[in-house]
A and B are shown apart, each in its own frame.
Chain A
Amino acid sequence: MRLLLIEDSARLQASIGRGLRKAGYAVDISGDGEEGLWLAESNEYDTIILDLMLPKLDGLTVLRSLREKQNGSHVLILTAKVTVENRVNGLQAGADDYLIKPFAFEELLARVQALCRRSYQRKNPRIEFHGLEIDTAARVVLRRGRTIELTPREFMLLEYLAQRRGQVVSRAEIEAHLYSDTAELMSNTVDSAICILRKKIGRAENDPLIQTRRGMGYIIENGPA
């Protein structure tokens, strides 16, 4: 899942960015409204975390510009503005959620997860198919009742493919959603990650859960729970 954090406090940028990345999200960070708007328009984000008091362009203007251009990314406003009027204005401008500083990082994480789920029109945090059970809230994967140990990024990769099961997901899409820094990408990074994930999930080699479509990408077929 790819997130955009638009926040002017360098310390919050660092802490929130570190926490979200550790939780497996790909995070892009911007320190002002102009750059944030440009990033939001140039990339596809599952969720944008937006401060309101920003240099150059304030958060509400950024939000309105995005909505005017039919940008459908979910937006969580993260601000020190506490009044009901501020919250109403934010939500009326097109925000999906509103969190007031100071906040519990776990709450921010849970809200971001909920918004990301909504990106795929799902409300239930549990995804079940082919005997696999993914709990997106608890960040746990079970296969026939047995827990499978995954790193946050592996979990995100599986969750992303599971959210889009039945659809072919290209390498470029996986890279865009899961890797925040293209510098860390090598040509076979995604292939390697898929390979490791297949081994951990454990299915017969001739019938993998995650199938490769040559020249197109990867797909998890729809299947019964």
Chain B
Amino acid sequence: MNSIQGRLTFTIGALCCALWCVGSVAVYLAVWAGLVSQFDLALKTDIQALANMTEQSEAGLKFDSSGEFMPKFQREDHPDYFQLWETDGSTLYRSSSLNGDRDLPQRMGTLAAPRFWNVILPDGQNGRAAGIRFVPKEDEDTPRINGTLPLDKEVTLVAAFHRAELDQRLSYLAFVLLSVGAVLAAAAAVVVRAVVRHGLLPLSALADRAQRIDASSLQLRFPFDKMPAELLPIVLRLNNLLSRIENSFTRERRFSADVAHELRTPIAELRTLAEVALKWPEEINEATLKEALAIALQMESIATGLLALARCENGLVSLHPEKIGLDALVREVYQPLEARARAKQIAVSLEVPKDACWFTDRTILRSIFTNLVSNALDHTPSGGAIKARIEKNQTGERFVILNSSNGLAPEDMPHMFERFWQKDAARSSSDHCGLGLSLARAYAQSLDMKLDATLNHAEVVFTLSTGRR
């Protein structure tokens, strides 16, 4: 049984039945003890009455069988029995129901506390017996001779009575308890099942909802407004997980579409170039081949960027930390790009202190700087400005590069580091494939640094912070 509902139903049902059984047995035993005690009390009264009918005198022992008490020992149907013995074991008197020769078993207590036990009666019925040994009272009608010793002969008296009525009551009680138990067990099976099912309804609703969620419906969420407190943390956690999976799926879908788009366009360019050249071979010249080469190089750049990203994200970049002077590195990176800055009349100011040093991997830090400076040069409008500087705060040092914005809006900032993202949806520039900043961030993470971008009025600010954690 591998369901919570089944297990709970079975366990609670079994516990209810067990409790009922224990309760029933306790009630039965209590009632039994009460009834037997009552029966024994009656027995005690009867045996004391019989003892009272036994007398002794100097002439000997005698039993007065003439009392109105005797008929129950004389009736034809289910008579009771008693027998009196003298000390030597000879029978002094036996009730007529013993038919003159049958004996009762002997066990004995005192007159105040008779001995009781169950017995099979001479007629084969169940009975209960009481036995006493006592000294019969003196016969008041036979005067004693003065000076003689007191009469102290002991006799044994056993009386046995039918207990059919007692047994009938106890049987009836057992029947009632068992019947009620059976009905309650059946009712418990139904009620417990219904109660458990009702109690588990929120869980069933949760399972039902979960079954309806697949890759195509990740926007669905688990409702939590009427969720029990026990399930609420699970639901909140699942919703959080779903959000993250949905974001992940969306990002992956967009990435796949972007990769397809980024590769489709150069492939289309190359294919058309080749097909047109083949159809009209007289048109093939050096420019055609240069175009083909440029397209191949663009595709290579996309493939290289994607590979580098994959290596970074899979932790396959090996680091060789060393002490690096930041000013020298920034100038080294900027030097080959200076001509581009001059061509666009961009004012570049590198304000990195000469003594600023970081202990990290030179090659990867150089790649990050190259991407940031190159990105700034590409996207700063003509006549704009680029500044690079080092800032210090409590958590560490930050390399900051600011450049004039080229129409970026605050809502663009979260997308800046997405693969293939470009402000212009047409991605009309074949010089960029939109991987540079993604790669720079992945590199920063591999160096345990953090790369962020913010928009400060008309300036885009890229911040590379040490002490990421």
Contacts and interface: CB of A to CB of B under 8 A. Distances in A.
A and B form one complex: yes
Interface of A: 8-12, 14-16, 18-19, 22, 31-32, 51, 53-55, 58, 80-82, 100-106
A216 B425 CA distance: 48
B276 A15 contact: yes
Contact of A22 (B260, B270, B276, B295): B276
B301 to A, nearest CB: 15
B271 A102 contact: yes
Nearest to B280: A22
B275 A106 contact: yes
A19 B426 contact: no
Interface string B253-278: 00000001100110111111101100
A31 B428 contact: yes
Contact of B276 (A18, A80, A81): A18
A106 B272 CA distance: 9
A223 B147 CA distance: 178
Given A18-B283, A105-B272, A9 B291 contact: no
Given A16-B272, A19-B272, A80-B268, A11 B291 contact: yes
A80 B428 CA distance: 13
Nearest to B273: A15
Contacts of B275: 19, 104-106
A14 B291 contact: yes
B279 A19 contact: yes
A214 B291 CA distance: 48
B424 interface: yes
A53 B425 contact: yes
11 contacts: A11-B269, A11-B295, A11-B430, A12-B268, A18-B276, A55-B426, A58-B425, A80-B260, A80-B261, A102-B272, A106-B279
Interface residues of B, number: 25
A101 B260 CA distance: 10
Contacts of B279: 19, 22, 105-106
B269 A9 contact: yes
B60 to A, nearest CB: 126
B430 A10 contact: yes
Contacts of B273: 11, 15
Interface string B365-379: 000000000000000
Nearest to B264: A80
Contact of A105 (B267, B276, B291): B276
A103 B272 CA distance: 8
Contacts of B267: 101-102
Contacts of B425: 53, 58
Contacts of A103: 268, 271-272
A102 B267 CA distance: 6
Given A53-B261, A102-B267, 17 more contacts: A9-B428, A11-B291, A11-B430, A12-B272, A22-B276, A22-B279, A31-B428, A53-B425, A54-B426, A55-B426, A82-B264, A101-B264, A101-B265, A102-B271, A103-B268, A105-B272, A105-B279
Contacts of A19: 272, 275-276, 279-280
> What 6 A-B pairs are tightest by C-beta distance, nearest first?
A101-B268, A19-B276, A80-B264, A102-B268, A105-B275, A15-B272
A102 B264 CA distance: 6
B221 interface: no
B72 interface: no
A106 B280 CA distance: 12
B137 interface: no
A15 B265 contact: no
Contacts of B389: none
Contacts of B197: none
Interface in B424-453: 424-428, 430
A15 B265 CA distance: 13
Nearest to A19: B276
Nearest to A99: B268
A163 to B, nearest CB: 24
Nearest to A105: B275
Nearest to A54: B426
B283 A8 contact: no
Contacts of A104: 271, 275
B415 to A, nearest CB: 16
A58 B268 CA distance: 20
B427 to A, nearest CB: 7
Nearest to A22: B280
A102 B273 CA distance: 11
A18 B288 CA distance: 11
A89 to B, nearest CB: 15
Determine which residue in A11, A55, A81, A100 has the highest number of CB atoms from chain B within 10 A of its CB, and name it: A11
A104 to B, nearest CB: 7
A18 B269 CA distance: 13
Nearest to A83: B257
Contact of A9 (B271, B424, B430): B430
A173 B261 CA distance: 39
B269 A53 contact: no
